[in-house]
């Protein structure tokens, strides 16, 4: 069966702009990492150990199936489409995932897997859903999913992740390293809210959205570029030893990255 690539991302900058309905609103530049990706495919259940009535994911995951973003994407898609063909597909096939994007890394692996699964189902089942419709479904799974649905090399992402605006710039290659620290995104946001809350104003947000990734990285250091680095360092003291000058922090961590030297 065809394999579908689920690419990682890094956050060139990530600023909190406020709160809405219990969620933090952000403005961020997401960039796709073209040389780091998971691969997803459908495999017949008769070729693997799987029961016909279970949703089966084959891959290196620590969580239970119902906690997996791919399963959550399946539930969201089923609720949005009421597709009998979708249920039949998952009765006959398992989802195989070749995992390369580390978990708890701020690289969007779970969100990218969910987005890729939605696009796979849309293609295989001829559901005819637009990218906008898929992005709306994906938002029920996670705030980063819409970015991966659109597949842009670079985009400004705002709101709670639902506003994804293509940004034209040359793709970059990144050196990424991910410490073996499992960071909880809710815990980092809670620490930000309690100890570091200082929302970015509209003027600064609009200014950042217009600058290239390289200009932003040349002008800001890691703590200035990502509002979540300081709360992450507070909550996970071991993170400090991995923090190197010239590297930047992606998402809520734990990955650090810099642009590859030519």
The residues annotated with a catalytic role in the active site are 9, 144
| Burial call 172-190: b when 16+ CB within 10 Å, e when fewer | bebebebbebebebeebbe
178 vs 125: CA distance, rounded Å: 36
CA 65, 190, 162, 216 dihedral sign is: negative
Element (H, E) at 120: helix 109-124
Number of H helices, E strands in the chain: 10, 9
Query: Of 235, 101, 255, 244, which is closest to residue 180 (Cα–Cα)?
Result: 255
Angle of helix 69-81 relative to helix 84-92, nearest 10 degrees, comes to: 150
223 vs 27: CA distance, rounded Å: 15
Residues 6+ apart with CB under 8 A from 207: none
176 vs 173: CA distance, rounded Å: 10
Length of the chain equals 262
């Amino acid at each position: 069966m065809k394999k579908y690539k689920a690419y990682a991302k890094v956050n060139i900058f990530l600023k909190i702009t406020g709160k809405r309905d219990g969620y933090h609103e952000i403005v961020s530049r997401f960039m796709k990492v073209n040389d780091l990706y998971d691969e997803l495919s459908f495999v017949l259940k008769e070729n693997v150990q799987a029961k016909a009535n279970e949703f089966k994911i084959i891959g290196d995951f620590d969580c239970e199936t119902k906690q997996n973003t791919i399963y959550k994407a399946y539930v969201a898609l089923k609720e949005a489409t009421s597709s009998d063909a979708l249920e039949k597909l998952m009765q006959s096939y398992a989802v195989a995932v070749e995992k390369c994007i580390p978990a708890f890394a701020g690289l969007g692996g779970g969100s990218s897997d969910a987005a890729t699964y939605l696009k796979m189902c849309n293609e295989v089942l001829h559901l005819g859903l637009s990218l906008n419709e898929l992005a709306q479904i994906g938002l029920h799974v996670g705030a980063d999913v819409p970015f991966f649905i659109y597949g842009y090399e670079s985009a400004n992402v705002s709101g709670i992740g639902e506003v994804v605006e293509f940004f034209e710039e040359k793709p970059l290659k990144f050196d990424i390293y991910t410490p073996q620290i499992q960071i909880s995104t809710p815990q980092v946001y809670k620490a930000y809210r309690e100890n570091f809350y200082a929302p970015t104003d509209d003027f600064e947000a609009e200014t950042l959205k217009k600058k290239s990734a390289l200009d932003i990285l040349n002008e800001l250091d890691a703590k200035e570029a990502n509002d979540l680095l300081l709360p992450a360092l507070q909550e996970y003291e071991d993170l400090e030893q991995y923090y190197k000058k010239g590297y930047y922090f992606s998402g809520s961590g734990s990955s650090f990255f810099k642009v590859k030297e030519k």
